[in-house]
């Protein structure tokens, strides 16, 4: 076939249909564009954020080959000269790291104490950019700190300015002595001399890290063995790559969840392409038959349909990629790199787009559109020419039932649920959800039969016609039902999951905050804390009946993974259930010689700390035997945590600092009055927070709602696409049924009756989609709650169903379906429909 002939054929069978219905073509393009845009923007934001975190982390290690580190408490500095003396070590650079609270600024700043002369050998940027000798001398000044330009900008400081950092409850004044090179130190941080850091940050004789560079040609394994032989418990040897990977691992589950949700939008976009293409086939039945009759082969017809889908895919995906870049840019500017989740505070990355990434998402959009066209294309290719060209012929609209395929997907979903997470990502859970949704789509024809076959033919004629239409057009109905089903089930699943999470979080906070008043200064890695003097002052405040002081401390356990948080607080086996939201407890007594600890669900999942487990716990350079007495729910620390008696913690670490004070007040004491007395007793210039549990809960739930804001947006888009599906389906049906509507208008059916007929059909289809969506959505929510959340974040939650919300959403969606159908069917009421009775072959 010549090029001209091919072009003519392509124009008739592939491009023509798109041009024929520009509105629907545009709708399909927009649906694909929205899906690609969401997926690409979420991917870009995630990638840019992860890159930035890794880059920031690596920049601090410089050219180091290895690093010895102990998160949280650090280790004794006597280890440093012993490490430096190991044969094969060329450079050993000691580091003190702390997250400093900045009083009066509601911000924190990462402070890194280095030995400028040694650090310059690992970080050439230090040596080249600021003339290391001069810079070192400046750094050596006892109050000097060099800020990264981003920190200087965020804090509004210039060289020569002074600012305070808070150590315990006391302000410590530092001077901005210079600015670090912007290219190498992009993250907000301050660098100071290690001696200054140890002295001013109350870290005397402690180090957090020693970065090591090996002698060229040294046997790395031998050097590592030598290093390990010197490491006390809780100190680990790592590579800079592993350390920076850890920095992004914490947020990986959150990011993968967002990506999965964004890809759902692409799935629904693809579904809309399926809807428009399959209805176009129904509408173009005679046209297709004519092309067959004129000699177009089945293969050519199939190819033409696929080209038509691919064209929609190319246009949609290209638009989506462009839109995705714009959305990512706006998302980074508005919500930050973590879309409001709080993982990457202080990171302000710039958006970079690699051509290959853009091409990958372009391909994804095209594949989605072509895959969605496959079914309708096969249907178009199988139109029987002779029958379809006959006057009075109607497309066979009885739906093919796919019960077995639906069952297959359900079995696949069940099988996926038995699989463990992949690299910490709940991929099997998502696979199960995808299988369930696909299964539900294939079940739609059966549902359509079940719902409409027994509908009585009663009521006014318009109702009888609508009922007959629903019974007789299962194939078309299937598309509408599936569109509503997919989008609504996702909405239901997310609504139940978020509601369950919110209620569980609220209930958890009520359990975890049993005291009347809380005083907090700092966290596990902050320089601010309640020292012994502050603790004594708080305990002595009039009106305080009991004061429990709690210390949070991150520790490194042997092996890879995130640090484990030790929560040291007054606790014993008798009152553990009163203080902690325990899930299970060990009825047997703790083995002799072990310290009782209570492990979080994440510690169980990630470390295997089940009831009765006895394990080695490195603490203060020593190792103690700990026995898990109970499992509790912890929504704060996805890396895992254990609660242990504070007196044991203090005995092993000598660390008497506290992060939080839980205060039980005397019977007649007023919380506000006691809070005022505490403020008066702790007037040292530093900051701390005093809050009643109700206030803490309110603030936490506000953060929760902000975190889930982006998921609500994605849900709304999915539902919008679902309604687009109904609109496309109805519009196409109206076109396909123009003759019928024209005849009805001749027979004296009013416009209002046709509108009621279409609205009833839309509402009926919407109702089946919504009811099925409720069931499928409920099952998906169970997977999200019990599988995806557990595998991603390692915590459980209780099931709470927002009945009222679901009832309102169901009614709104059914009403929207009726309205959409009636509005989309406006053509059915116009004068041109009357003339449609003449438009025959």
Partner 1 sequence: MLDVRKLTKSYGGPSGRRVLDGLDLVVRPGEYVAIVGESGVGKSTLLNLVAGLDLPDSGEILLEGRDLARMDETERTRLRRSRMGFVFQAFHLLPHLTVARNVGLPLALNGQAGNAVEQRVAELLAAVGLEDRAASLPRELSGGEMQRVAVARSLAHRPALVLADEPTGNLDPDNASVILGMLREQIKRDRAAGVLVTHSATAAATTDRVYELTRSGLHLRTDAPLNRA
Nearer Cβ to partner 1, position 149 or 472? 472
Instruction: State the alpha helices, DSSP H only, in 229-239.
Output: none
In the list 391, 404, 420, 592, the residue contacting partner 1 (rule: CB under 8 A) is 391
* Helix 298-335, helix 285-293: angle, nearest 10: 140
Smallest gap from residue 830 Cβ to partner 1 (A): 12
Spell 191-215 as b/e; 16+ CB within 10 A means b.
bbbbebbbebbbbeebbbbbbbbbe
- Give the CA radius of gyration of the chain: 33
Span interacting with partner 1, options 142-150, 283-291, 458-466, 796-804, rule CB under 8 A: 458-466
Nearer Cβ to partner 1, position 455 or 650? 455
Q: Does 623 contact partner 1 by CB under 8 A?
A: no
Residues 6+ positions from 98 with CB-CB distance below 8 Å: 110, 111, 113, 197, 201, 203, 208, 525, 526, 527
Nearer Cβ to partner 1, position 232 or 739? 739
Nearer Cβ to partner 1, position 715 or 753? 753
What SS3 class is residue 656?
Answer: coil
Nearer Cβ to partner 1, position 749 or 782? 749
Q: Does 455 contact partner 1 by CB under 8 A?
A: no
Smallest gap from residue 732 Cβ to partner 1 (A): 16
Smallest gap from residue 751 Cβ to partner 1 (A): 8
Smallest gap from residue 322 Cβ to partner 1 (A): 44
Span interacting with partner 1, options 68-76, 344-352, 492-500, 831-839, rule CB under 8 A: 831-839
Smallest gap from residue 359 Cβ to partner 1 (A): 46
In the list 498, 740, 795, 817, the residue contacting partner 1 (rule: CB under 8 A) is 740
Q: Are 693 and 515 in contact (CB under 8 A)?
A: yes
Phi, psi of 582 (to 5 degrees): -75, 140
Q: Does 469 contact partner 1 by CB under 8 A?
A: yes
Among 682, 244, 143, smallest CA distance to 690 is for 682
Dihedral (Cα; 250, 255, 260, 264), 10-degree rounding: 150
Q: Does 418 contact partner 1 by CB under 8 A?
A: no
Nearer Cβ to partner 1, position 397 or 405? 397
Q: Does 19 contact partner 1 by CB under 8 A?
A: no
Span interacting with partner 1, options 342-350, 462-470, 584-592, 666-674, rule CB under 8 A: 462-470
Rounded distance, CA 461 to CA 749, Å? 9
Which residues, in sequence order, are bridge partners of residue 630?
Answer: 585, 598
Smallest gap from residue 320 Cβ to partner 1 (A): 39
Q: Does 400 contact partner 1 by CB under 8 A?
A: no
Nearer Cβ to partner 1, position 557 or 744? 744
Q: Does 473 contact partner 1 by CB under 8 A?
A: yes
Span interacting with partner 1, options 142-150, 240-248, 313-321, 827-835, rule CB under 8 A: 827-835
Q: Does 746 contact partner 1 by CB under 8 A?
A: yes
Q: Are 240 and 58 in contact (CB under 8 A)?
A: yes
Nearer Cβ to partner 1, position 345 or 835? 835
Residues near partner 1 (CB under 8 A), total: 33
In the list 750, 805, 808, 811, the residue contacting partner 1 (rule: CB under 8 A) is 750
Rounded distance, CA 404 to CA 410, Å? 10
In the list 468, 545, 666, 775, the residue contacting partner 1 (rule: CB under 8 A) is 468
Smallest gap from residue 485 Cβ to partner 1 (A): 23
CA distances from 410 to 257, 264, 417, 779 (A): 22, 18, 11, 11
Query: DSSP readout, 8-61?
Result: HHHIIIIIHHHHH-HHHHHHHHHHHHHHHHHHHHHHHHHHHHHHHHHHHHHHHH
Looking at residues 301 to 330 of the shown chain, list those that interact with partner 1 (rule: CB under 8 A).
none
In the list 156, 217, 355, 392, the residue contacting partner 1 (rule: CB under 8 A) is 392
In the list 461, 514, 558, 608, the residue contacting partner 1 (rule: CB under 8 A) is 461
Residues 6+ positions from 218 with CB-CB distance below 8 Å: 87, 88, 89, 90
Which residues, in sequence order, are bridge partners of residue 165?
Answer: 172
Looking at residues 561 to 620 of the shown chain, list those that interact with partner 1 (rule: CB under 8 A).
none
Q: Does 742 contact partner 1 by CB under 8 A?
A: yes
In the list 221, 747, 803, 804, the residue contacting partner 1 (rule: CB under 8 A) is 747
Nearer Cβ to partner 1, position 1 or 747? 747
Span interacting with partner 1, options 352-360, 470-478, 527-535, 778-786, rule CB under 8 A: 470-478
Smallest gap from residue 475 Cβ to partner 1 (A): 12
Residues 6+ positions from 110 with CB-CB distance below 8 Å: 97, 98, 99, 100, 187, 188, 189, 190, 346
Q: Does 394 contact partner 1 by CB under 8 A?
A: yes
Nearer Cβ to partner 1, position 468 or 805? 468
Q: How far is CA 75 from the centre of its chain?
A: 35
Span interacting with partner 1, options 51-59, 490-498, 683-691, 830-838, rule CB under 8 A: 830-838
Rounded distance, CA 123 to CA 93, Å? 10
Q: Does 448 contact partner 1 by CB under 8 A?
A: no
In the list 472, 507, 570, 581, the residue contacting partner 1 (rule: CB under 8 A) is 472
Nearer Cβ to partner 1, position 186 or 745? 745
Q: Does 465 contact partner 1 by CB under 8 A?
A: yes
Rounded distance, CA 123 to CA 115, Å? 11
Q: Does 743 contact partner 1 by CB under 8 A?
A: yes
Rounded distance, CA 47 to CA 351, Å? 10
Nearer Cβ to partner 1, position 282 or 787? 282
Q: Are 342 and 703 in contact (CB under 8 A)?
A: yes
817: enclosing H helix or E strand = helix 803-824
Nearer Cβ to partner 1, position 295 or 392? 392
Q: Is 51 exposed, middle or buried (0-12, 13-18, 19+ CB in 10 A)?
A: middle
Q: Does 837 contact partner 1 by CB under 8 A?
A: yes
Token pair of 335 as six digits: 């919500």
In the list 350, 423, 574, 840, the residue contacting partner 1 (rule: CB under 8 A) is 840
CA distances from 792 to 423, 430, 433, 795 (A): 10, 11, 15, 8
Among 408, 397, 465, 467, smallest CA distance to 435 is for 408
Nearer Cβ to partner 1, position 350 or 831? 831
Nearer Cβ to partner 1, position 221 or 458? 458
Rounded distance, CA 223 to CA 220, Å? 5
Span interacting with partner 1, options 4-12, 117-125, 817-825, 828-836, rule CB under 8 A: 828-836
Count CB neighbours of 402 within 10 A: 18
| Residue written as token pair 């940050």 | 201
Looking at residues 549 to 568 of the shown chain, list those that interact with partner 1 (rule: CB under 8 A).
none
Instruction: State the alpha helices, DSSP H only, in 130-239.
Output: 132-139, 149-155, 194-200, 220-228
What residues make contact with partner 1 under the rule CB under 8 A?
390-394, 397, 457, 461, 464-465, 468-469, 471-473, 739-740, 742-743, 745-751, 831, 834-835, 837-838, 840-841
């Amino acid at each position: 076939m010549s090029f001209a002939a091919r072009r003519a054929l392509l124009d008739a069978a592939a491009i023509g249909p798109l041009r024929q219905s520009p509105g629907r073509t545009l709708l399909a393009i927009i649906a694909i564009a929205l899906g690609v845009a969401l997926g690409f923007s979420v991917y870009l934001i995630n990638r840019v954020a992860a890159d930035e975190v890794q880059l920031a982390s690596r920049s601090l290690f410089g050219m180091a080959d290895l690093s010895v580190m102990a998160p949280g408490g650090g280790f004794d500095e006597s280890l440093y000269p012993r490490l430096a003396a190991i044969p094969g070590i060329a450079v050993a650079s000691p580091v003190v790291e702390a997250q400093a609270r900045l009083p009066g600024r509601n911000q924190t700043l990462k402070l890194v104490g280095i030995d400028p002369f040694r650090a310059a050998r690992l970080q050439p940027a230090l040596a080249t950019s600021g003339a290391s000798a001069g810079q070192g001398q400046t750094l050596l000044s006892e109050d000097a700190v060099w800020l990264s330009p981003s920190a200087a900008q965020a804090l509004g400081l210039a060289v020569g300015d002074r600012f305070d950092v808070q150590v315990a409850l006391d302000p410590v004044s530092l001077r901005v002595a210079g600015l670090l090179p912007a290219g190498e130190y992009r993250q907000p941080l301050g660098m100071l001399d290690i001696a200054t850091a140890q002295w001013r940050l109350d870290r005397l004789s402690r180090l957090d890290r020693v970065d090591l560079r090996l002698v060229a040609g040294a046997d790395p394994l031998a050097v590592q063995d030598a290093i390990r032989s010197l490491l006390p418990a809780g100190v680990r040897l790592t590579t800079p790559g592993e350390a920076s990977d850890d920095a992004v691992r914490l947020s990986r589950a959150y990011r993968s969840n967002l990506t999965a949700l964004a890809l759902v939008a692409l799935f629904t976009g693809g579904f809309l392409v399926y809807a428009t293409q399959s209805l176009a086939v129904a509408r173009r039945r005679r046209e297709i038959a004519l092309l067959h009759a004129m000699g177009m082969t089945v293969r050519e017809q199939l190819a033409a349909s696929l080209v038509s889908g691919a064209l929609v895919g190319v246009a949609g995906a290209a638009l989506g990629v462009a839109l995705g870049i714009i959305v990512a840019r706006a998302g980074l500017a508005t919500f930050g790199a973590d879309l409001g989740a709080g993982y990457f505070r202080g990171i302000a990355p710039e958006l970079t787009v690699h051509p290959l990434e853009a091409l990958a998402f372009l391909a994804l959009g095209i594949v989605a559109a072509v895959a969605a066209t496959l079914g309708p294309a096969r249907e178009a290719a199988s139109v029987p020419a002779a029958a379809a060209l006959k006057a009075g012929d109607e497309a066979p609209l009885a739906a093919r039932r796919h019960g077995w395929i639906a069952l297959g997907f359900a079995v696949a979903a069940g099988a996926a649920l038995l699989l463990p997470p992949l690299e910490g990502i709940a991929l099997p859970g998502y696979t199960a959800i995808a299988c369930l949704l696909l299964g539900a789509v294939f079940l739609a024809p059966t549902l359509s039969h079940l719902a409409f076959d027994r509908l009585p033919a009663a009521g006014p004629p318009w109702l009888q016609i609508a009922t007959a239409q629903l019974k007789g057009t299962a194939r078309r109905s299937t598309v509408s039902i599936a569109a509503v089903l997919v989008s609504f089930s996702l909405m239901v699943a997310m609504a139940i999951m978020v509601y369950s999470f919110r209620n569980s979080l609220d209930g958890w906070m009520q359990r975890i905050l049993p005291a009347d008043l809380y005083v907090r200064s700092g966290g596990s890695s902050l320089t601010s804390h309640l020292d012994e003097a502050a603790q004594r002052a708080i305990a002595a405040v009039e009106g305080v009946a009991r004061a429990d002081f709690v210390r949070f401390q991150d520790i490194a356990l042997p092996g890879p993974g995130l640090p484990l948080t030790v929560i040291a607080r007054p606790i014993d086996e008798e009152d553990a259930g009163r203080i902690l939201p325990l899930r299970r407890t060990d009825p047997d007594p703790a083995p002799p010689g072990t310290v009782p600890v209570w492990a979080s669900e994440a510690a169980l999942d990630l470390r295997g700390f089940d009831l009765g487990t006895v394990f080695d716990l490195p603490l203060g350079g020593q190792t103690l035997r700990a026995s898990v007495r109970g499992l509790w729910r912890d929504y704060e620390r996805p890396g895992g945590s254990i609660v242990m008696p504070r007196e044991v913690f203090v005995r092993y670490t000598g660390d008497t600092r506290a992060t939080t004070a839980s205060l039980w007040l005397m019977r007649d004491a007023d919380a506000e009055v006691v809070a005022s007395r505490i403020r008066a007793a702790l007037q040292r210039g530093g900051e701390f927070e005093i809050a009643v549990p109700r206030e803490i809960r309110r603030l936490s739930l506000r953060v929760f709602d902000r975190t889930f804001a982006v998921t609500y947006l994605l849900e709304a888009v999915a539902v919008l696409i679902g309604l687009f599906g109904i609109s496309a389906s109805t519009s196409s049906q109206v076109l396909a049924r123009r003759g019928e509507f024209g005849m009805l208008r001749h027979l004296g059916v009013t416009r209002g009756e046709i509108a009621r007929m279409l609205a009833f059909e839309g509402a009926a289809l919407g109702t089946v989609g919504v009811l099925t969506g409720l069931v499928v959505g409920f099952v998906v929510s169970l997977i999200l709650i019990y599988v995806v959340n557990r595998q991603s974040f390692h915590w459980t939650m209780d099931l709470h169903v927002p009945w009222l919300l679901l009832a309102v959403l169901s009614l709104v969606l059914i009403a929207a379906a009726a309205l959409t159908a009636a509005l989309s069917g406006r053509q059915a009421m116009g004068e041109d429909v009357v003339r449609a009775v003449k438009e025959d072959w």
